Amino acid sequence: MTGAKAEISLHPGLRYLPGRLSRQEQEELVEIIRGVVAEAPLYVPAMPGSGRPMSVRMTNCGPLGWVTDKERGYRYQPIHPVTGKPWPDISEVLLDLWRELSGHQKDPEACLVNFYADDAKMGLHQDRDETDFSAPVLSISLGNTCLFRIGGLQRTDRTKSLKLESGDVFLLGGEGRLCFHGVDRIYPDTSTLLKAGGRINLTLRRVNP
Ligand code: SIN
Ligand code: FE2
């Protein structure tokens, strides 16, 4: 891929792979996620303390899933907070992508599935609930384009904004593993992948050393 997108300079350890997934690969992932959601329904996560609902709906696959609620806050756990059942397995398709791109020996333990309706967003944060930061977080965008904001290691560092499109992959690894990031907005009607609109973001994470 050439052009302005590839030229954005990012914090060391960050990798932006625009158009990494073909349309066919994206469609295959949507089918896989449909299967995950059938077994482990999307739920509304709540902020620690305030209990304020997030606008993004979530589920997971893998031995561990990232969850949050008012009482117990951010954490990983092996069961769905609503159904109490173990999370479904991570598909081989996703494991293959991780093995190819992560540069990490061990497989991911969690795949967080974020579903953004066209009016959803996610505030600036670090992914720091893992006990091992040596593996990257591998992020996959599907469906409508979003405005993604990526900063540095301090909340107050300057940020850059880029549009993540369906099929783009983004890695936060190495020195960039703890960079602040968030999603400012979704652009409706920018993809035909998801018939009902919105955006799906998948993040593959290694939790334990
Ligand atoms: C996340 O930080 O968990 C999600 C990022 C994204 O939706 O691109
Ligand atoms: Fe994150």
Q: What is the 3-state secondary structure (H, E, C) of 124-135?
A: EECCCCCCCCCC
- Whether the Cβ atoms of residue 111 and residue 204 lie closer than 8 Å to each other: yes
Contacts (Cβ under 8 Å, ≥6 apart) of 104: 98, 134, 135, 136, 206
Q: What is the pLDDT of residue 9?
A: 84
Cα separation, 70 vs 53, whole angstroms: 9
> Measured in angstroms, how far is the CA atom of residue 183 from the centroid of ligand 1?
7
Query: What one-character DSSP code corresponds to residue 43?
Result: B
- The reply to whether ligand 1 has any atom less than 6 angstroms from the CB of 201 is yes
CA-atom Rg of the chain in angstroms: 16
Residues in the chain, overall count = 209
> Measured in angstroms, how far is the CA atom of residue 76 from the centroid of ligand 1?
16
Does the pTM surpass 0.75? The reply is: yes
Cα separation, 206 vs 186, whole angstroms: 27
> Which pLDDT band, with edges at 50, 70 and 90, does 6 fall under?
low
Instruction: Please check the confidence at residue 131 and state whether its pLDDT lies above 70.
Output: yes
Encode pLDDT of 69-103 as tens digits.
Answer: 999 999 999 999 999 999 999 999 999 999 999 99
Cα separation, 14 vs 113, whole angstroms: 21
- The reply to whether ligand 1 has any atom less than 6 angstroms from the CB of 185 is no
The overall average pLDDT reported for the chain is: 96
Encode pLDDT of 17-57 as tens digits.
Answer: 999 999 999 999 999 999 999 999 999 999 999 999 999 99
> Which pLDDT band, with edges at 50, 70 and 90, does 168 fall under?
very high
- Whether the Cβ atoms of residue 122 and residue 115 lie closer than 8 Å to each other: no
Q: To which H or E segment does residue 148 belong?
A: strand 146-150
For residues 133-162, one letter each, b for 16 or more C-beta atoms within 10 angstroms of the residue's C-beta and e for the rest, the string is bebbbbbbbbbbbbebbbbeeeeeeebeeb
- All domains of the chain, ordered by start, with CATH? 8-205 (2.60.120.590)
> Which pLDDT band, with edges at 50, 70 and 90, does 5 fall under?
low
- The reply to whether ligand 1 has any atom less than 6 angstroms from the CB of 142 is no
> How far apart are the two ends of the chain, measured CA to CA in Å?
34
Instruction: Please check the confidence at residue 2 and state whether its pLDDT lies above 70.
Output: no
- The reply to whether ligand 1 has any atom less than 6 angstroms from the CB of 139 is yes
Written as six digits, the tokens of 166 are 């369906």
Neighbours of 61 (CB within 10 A): 27
For residues 77-86, one letter each, b for 16 or more C-beta atoms within 10 angstroms of the residue's C-beta and e for the rest, the string is eeebbeeeeb
Nearest to 32 by CA among 77, 93, 80: 93
In this structure, the residue with its CA closest to atom 3 of ligand 1 is: 203
Instruction: Please check the confidence at residue 172 and state whether its pLDDT lies above 80.
Output: yes
> Measured in angstroms, how far is the CA atom of residue 122 from the centroid of ligand 2?
9
Q: Which ligand is nearest to the CA of 183?
A: 1
Query: What one-character DSSP code corresponds to residue 86?
Result: B
Q: Among all chains, which residue has been given the structure tokens 């891929």?
A: 1
